[in-house]
Amino acid sequence: MTLKEKKDRLVEDLGLIEDPQERLGYIIDLGKHAPGLADEYKTESLRIEGCISNLWLYPSFEKGVCRFQADSDAMITKGLSTLLCDLYSGHCPAEILEVDPSFLAQVGITQHLSPNRRNGLTQIGNRIMGYARLHLNS
């Protein structure tokens, strides 16, 4: 499945959850069940600035595709970052750069977040895009 197809499916699935509180509940549940990161990856260099909670992103690049793992000490932040990591992982940098993470606004995710959480979400999206740009010609 292409990244655009995955994004479209995610938008469709999240759109089926009409109640904003239920949608956030789904995101929190996703965070509760996400594996997270080993403590060795919870370093300052992998920490995402701008979020009220601690948020880490561990990117990797192998065989032409990017992979992303995230963790946070707040379940909503962990859920949102896991959602983005799952979406973008396994795709080449060029494909990643074609799908801007701002699509989450289409399904009402960002409108119900505090400014600090929105900022954290923006920062993790920026970091994913930056990592893809870094490996674009690799």
Among all residues, which ones are annotated catalytic?
Answer: 51
Look at residues 58, 59, 55 and name the one whose alpha carbon lies nearest to residue 72. Answer: 55
Q: DSSP secondary-structure letter at 37?
A: -
Per DSSP, the residues of 55-114 read EEEEEEEETTEEEEEEEESSHHHHHHHHHHHHHHTTB-HHHHHTS-GGGGGGGTSGGGS-
How far apart are the C-alpha atoms of 69 and 89, rounded to whole Å? Answer: 8
